[in-house]
């Protein structure tokens, strides 16, 4: 029904003209994904050989027919976690945090039951903490009461358990160490150095006009989302153009500030193995040899909310720029994806303003990246 709408509203802005199939690949994959999932709007940024191109589809607001443009602001969901762990890696670089120190060192108010949980285990989702605290916990006092009574069901580094709570604690630790609130940290240590707009956790009033409307799995418009006590796990918002700058830094392209370049490499280093997937600091890392390509293109091939056994913790963590390094994000009204292959100077960001079931946006983003780079 909406196929012609998407085709007609496709806008393309490119900083370079490619003599290849990038535009066709992005158009074909995204039109199919959006038609299948009735997605109102989307934006895709692709870097190939270190050069960017951007593609805009459909509506930022279905009711008013406002089109997606380079200025459209999307909720990033769990892509926020990449920026949170980047902030932590910067503090590791400054010797203010150690990855294998207990979180209790940085949040002294936590009870002794948290003492075996390290900053690394929080960032790799191997802390044993649940996905989130009970829904009735709304205040810091209620959280501290819950924490005092919490008993772990899993040993640290034994199981992968995706945890917004764990990443949220990294945010609280960073505020304690730096004496800055999280919005300030994002804006001064990531957004400003990369030349991104100062949006972070909250959209400034003057930019609110660019905030896309989000739509839930039923296709209904939903209000902006917030994670309350733990915003470091998923509350970032960003314009499409700004995400292109973060993508360039995530690839490690020339011009990336040193204060970003080395810490982001730290976050993309493999620390833990879970089956055939390695875990960086919030990033997931995958081999992309011929054995794995087909399975990576399946929407189910991403570690999510299911509990998985940890198969190993690397004694000497190493960065490998030949791997596919990626992360998806979800809010009540948005679905997002980012991926890089640093050695190829390539990467992709896919931002959409409808929450869809499963991880089909992951499969779409990977298909774009692989086809553009001739990976099969």
Residue 110 belongs to a domain:
no
Task: With beta carbons less than 8 A apart as the criterion, state whether 318 and 338 touch.
Answer: no
Residue 237 belongs to a domain:
yes
Residue 260 belongs to a domain:
yes
Residue 156 belongs to a domain:
no
Helix ranges restricted to H, the chain: 3-9, 22-37, 80-93, 103-106, 119-123, 140-149, 164-178, 182-186, 192-194, 240-251, 258-267, 293-296, 360-372
Residue 240 belongs to a domain:
yes
Question: What is the structure's pLDDT at 299?
Answer: 63
Question: What is the structure's pLDDT at 301?
Answer: 65
Residue 69 belongs to a domain:
yes
Angstrom distance (rounded) from CA 221 to CA 213: 7
Angstrom distance (rounded) from CA 55 to CA 15: 11
Question: What is the structure's pLDDT at 14?
Answer: 36
Residue 146 belongs to a domain:
no
Question: What is the structure's pLDDT at 11?
Answer: 38
Angle at 347 between CA 346 and CA 349, to 5 degrees: 160
Residue 178 belongs to a domain:
no
Q: What sign for the dihedral angle of Cα 44, 332, 197, 186?
A: negative
CATH code of 233's domain: 3.40.710.10
Range 136-161 burial, b when 16+ CB lie within 10 A, else e: ebeeeeebeeebeebeeebebbebbb
Question: What is the structure's pLDDT at 328?
Answer: 96
- Which domain, by its residues, includes 273? 3-82+184-372
Angstrom distance (rounded) from CA 24 to CA 28: 6
Question: What is the structure's pLDDT at 7?
Answer: 37
Q: Walk along the chain (376 residues) in steps of 10 and give the mean pLDDT of each run.
A: 38 40 96 97 97 97 97 98 98 96 96 96 97 90 93 94 96 96 95 96 94 97 88 95 97 97 98 96 93 80 86 96 97 97 98 93 96 91
How would you classify the pairing of strands 312-318 and 270-274?
antiparallel
Instruction: Report the number of distinct structural domains present in the chain.
Output: 1
| Cα 21 off chain centre by | 27
């Amino acid at each position: 029904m909406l196929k012609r709408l998407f085709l007609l509203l496709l806008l393309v802005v490119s900083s370079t003209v490619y003599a290849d199939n990038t535009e066709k690949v992005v158009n074909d994959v995204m039109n199919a994904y959006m038609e299948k999932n009735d997605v109102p709007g989307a934006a895709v940024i692709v870097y190939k050989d270190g050069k960017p191109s951007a593609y805009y589809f459909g509506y930022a607001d279905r009711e008013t027919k406002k089109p997606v443009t380079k200025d459209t602001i999307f909720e990033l969901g769990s892509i926020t976690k990449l920026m949170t762990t980047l902030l932590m890696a910067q503090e590791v670089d400054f010797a203010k945090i150690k990855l294998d120190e207990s979180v209790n060192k940085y949040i002294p108010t936590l009870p002794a039951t948290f003492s075996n949980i390290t900053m690394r285990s929080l960032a790799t989702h191997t802390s044993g903490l649940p996905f989130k605290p009970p829904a009735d916990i709304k205040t810091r006092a209620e959280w501290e009461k819950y924490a005092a009574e919490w008993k772990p069901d899993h040993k640290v580094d034994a199981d992968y358990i995706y945890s917004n709570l764990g990443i949220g604690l990294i945010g609280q630790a960073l505020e304690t160490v730096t004496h800055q609130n999280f919005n300030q940290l994002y804006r001064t240590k990531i957004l400003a150095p990369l030349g991104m707009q100062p949006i972070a956790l909250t959209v400034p009033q003057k930019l609110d006009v660019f905030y896309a409307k989000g739509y839930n799995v039923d296709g209904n418009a939903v209000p902006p989302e917030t994670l309350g006590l733990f915003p470091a796990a998923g509350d970032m918002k960003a314009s499409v153009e700004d995400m292109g700058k973060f993508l360039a830094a995530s690839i490690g392209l020339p011009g990336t500030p040193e204060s970003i370049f080395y810490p982001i490499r730290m976050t993309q280093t493999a620390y833990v193995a879970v089956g055939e997937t390695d875990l960086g600091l919030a990033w997931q890392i995958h081999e992309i040899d011929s054995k794995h390509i087909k399975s990576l293109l399946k929407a189910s091939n991403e570690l999510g909310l299911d509990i998985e056994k940890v198969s190993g913790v690397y004694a000497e963590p190493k960065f490998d720029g030949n791997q596919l390094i990626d992360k998806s994000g979800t809010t009540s009204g948005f679905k997002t994806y980012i991926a890089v292959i640093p050695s190829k100077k390539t990467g992709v960001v896919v931002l959409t303003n409808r929450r869809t079931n499963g991880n089909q946006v992951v499969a779409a983003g990977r298909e774009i990246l692989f086809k553009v780079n001739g990976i099969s």
